[in-house]
Amino acid sequence: MDNLLTESRTFPPSQEFSAQANATSALYTEAAADREAFWAKQAERLDWDTKWDQVLDWSDAPFAKWFVGGRLNVAYNCVDRHVQAGHGDRVAIHWEGEPGDSQTITYAQLQREVCRTANALAALGVGAGDRVAIYLPMLPEAVYSMLACARLGALHSVVFGGFSAEALRTRINDAAAKVVITCDGQYRRGKAMPLKANVDEAVAQTPSVEHVIVVKRTNTDVAFDHTRDKWWDEARAGQPDTHTPQAFDSEHPLFILYTSGTTGKPKGILHTSGGYLTQAAYTHHTVFDLKPDSDTYWCTADIGWVTGHTYIVYGPLANGATQVIYEGTPNTPHEGRHWEIVQKYGVTIYYTAPTTIRTFMKWGSQIPAHYDLSSLRLLGSVGEPINPEAWIWYRHNIGGDRTPVVDTWWQTETGSIMISPLPGVTPTKPGSAQQPLPGISAKIVDETGTPVGHGNGGLLVLDEPWPAMLRGIWGDQQRYRDTYWSKFADLGFYFAGDGAKYDDDGDIWLLGRVDDVMNISGHRISTTEVESALVSHPNVAEAAVVGASDPTTGQGIVAFVILRGGTDDTASGQTALKQLREHVSHEIGPIAKPRQIMVVPELPKTRSGKIMRRLLRDVAENREIGDVTTLADSSVMDLISKGLSKTT
């Protein structure tokens, strides 16, 4: 982080960009003058069936109600209204499959697909308030399914296709989903990997699931339970491609999305309709400067994460955007795949994660140099702090030193972007997310909640409610209060879990999580989650996990384990450690596989038994070990350091 804190370059917007930008500095003044009036104006971006009679009801804080009394249909806003406005022929999605197949889907087609899917779900008994789990890779059917749920007022719970059967099972059960939508298999690095098999394993223990709908993608052989399973085509056969949308209350739940917290149990973050869609549309319009008639937008996130929800499905479609959706990995079949796609579709706005940018850097600037990237006019970054070097590389090699780069800070919980420069307005600084968006209030405070001055660091809080804020944790509202609102209870601040610092100009620099949540390639994984996966293996007596800094993935998972007596920790021990990594992958998913497992005789603990992860992080990052005076037994760190040869 050292270079981050001494970075001082700035890049003022070009006059040419500013002259045409959606955002103007007047937005800040307008929002500051009357926040609620500002948000009411943003809500006018949507088509409401019934207008709200109150912008915000915060009387039951921390449970917000936005656009109280308003009614709308989210899917109608993302699809039908564009067709009605005469844009039915506009491309909604340029879908690019990993093996090279592609589909062009117009808004008129999207409307038919969403309606047919909604009718199929309704025929299976799905109605308002029901939960549908979606376990799909980046296929158009994932978008159809999400919007079909929204249309019916059913909540979707999208589970990332890289999660294990076990992770899927716990999420299905927590939400008591009635239907699961999946596919036979998914393409990953040129190979067809089975997916349905995970669903079969999961739903063996999910009493709520009545039907599994299976999209055919890879033509992989799958087991089929004909009473429970239905092929996608079979479920939709004979269903009309029209459907009259029903308006739902602004606060009607839209989706649940699970994210890691500081305990082993993932939290089902609950989002609702009117406020969420308002902020999704507003931020997508202003931060990405979207011009629906001329832009081709591409967000490379997976639909299984919140970025895919807000900046592939809801924001862009509410704004009538034309976008690219790509199924595969950036190096399949070659390391120029993204740039080939940018060139093919003339992508103008590109939004990705720092970890991807650092991977591109590793592959070399000669790769993008080979393609025509001149269509690009704006670049975005999200998911973790972006180091200035990666920011500069991105702007130079991808943006041709011409495009603004927006570093956007937000979370699953915030639903939409909260802190970001405004392209065309803000002179950007490599590595800084800079300022809360107009309408948003954020502060950096010390442990007592007092704002820190310029040049100082502290904890990031959100001190005013915002439209896309989470409305709670599914089935556990006490946990919602405890997790986000208890640290500064008297002040009513939402605690984001991130450390941050103001520079001398008062711009915000994000410094990473301050809790036990790791950020691996922009994916949130809790240390406790991985620890519980490890100790669920019969050979492990105890485990402690830390996120160690990693040049590509931001952080890498390093596990310290005490093996049970009798477990061989030499020779065949290497195999045992490999099995442990596989075990974690099976319990959570490949993204949670430790980069490194170290076998240790003891773990450093305080007298009250709390594991001192700080010291383990020192070991994992090859640093001199810090202050050990609070350890119950200070010789433990010597033992650990000595035993370090036995690692994988």
Binding site for ligand WTA (CB under 6 A): 259, 305-307, 382-385, 407-412, 433, 496-498, 510, 513, 519, 524
**Least distance (Å) from ligand WTA to the CB of residue 524?**
5
143 is in an annotated binding site: no
State the pairing for strand pair 323-326/297-299: parallel
Nearest 5°: CA angle at 341, between 337 and 343?
115
Nearer to ligand WTA, 153 or 266 (CB): 266
Q: Cα 505 vs. chain centroid, distance in angstroms?
A: 29
Nearer to ligand WTA, 170 or 412 (CB): 412
236 is in an annotated binding site: no
**Least distance (Å) from ligand WTA to the CB of residue 262?**
12
**Least distance (Å) from ligand WTA to the CB of residue 385?**
4
**Least distance (Å) from ligand WTA to the CB of residue 353?**
9
Count other C-beta atoms under 10 Å from residue 1's C-beta.
13
537 is in an annotated binding site: yes
384 is in an annotated binding site: yes
Nearest to 394 by CA among 383, 381, 408, 384: 381
The CA distance from 417 to 408, in Å, is 6
627 is in an annotated binding site: no
Nearer to ligand WTA, 462 or 599 (CB): 462
**Least distance (Å) from ligand WTA to the CB of residue 306?**
5
Nearer to ligand WTA, 52 or 509 (CB): 509
Nearer to ligand WTA, 111 or 412 (CB): 412
Amino acid at 34: D
413 is in an annotated binding site: no
Nearest to 157 by CA among 271, 248, 233, 47: 271
180 is in an annotated binding site: no
**Least distance (Å) from ligand WTA to the CB of residue 266?**
11
**Least distance (Å) from ligand WTA to the CB of residue 407?**
5
Count other C-beta atoms under 10 Å from residue 540's C-beta.
22
Two structure tokens written together for 232: 């996608």
Nearer to ligand WTA, 305 or 560 (CB): 305
Are 530 and 545 in contact by the 8 Å Cβ rule? The answer is: yes
The CA distance from 194 to 63, in Å, is 41
Measured between its terminal Cα atoms, the distance across the chain in Å is 27
Buried b (16+ CB within 10 A) or exposed e, 436-457: bbbbbbbbbbeeebeebeeeee
The CA distance from 593 to 530, in Å, is 8
| Residue 177, H or E segment | none
- Tell me phi and psi for residue 524, to 5 degrees: -85, 125
190 is in an annotated binding site: yes
Nearest to 327 by CA among 120, 143, 65, 564: 143
Nearer to ligand WTA, 198 or 307 (CB): 307
383 is in an annotated binding site: yes
Q: Which residues are annotated as a binding site?
A: 188-191, 307, 331, 383-385, 407-412, 498, 513, 521, 524, 535, 537, 540
Annotated binding-site members for CoA: 188-191, 307, 331, 521
Binding-site residue numbers for Mg(2+) are 535, 537, 540
Per the annotation, binding residues for ATP are 383-385, 407-412, 498, 513, 524
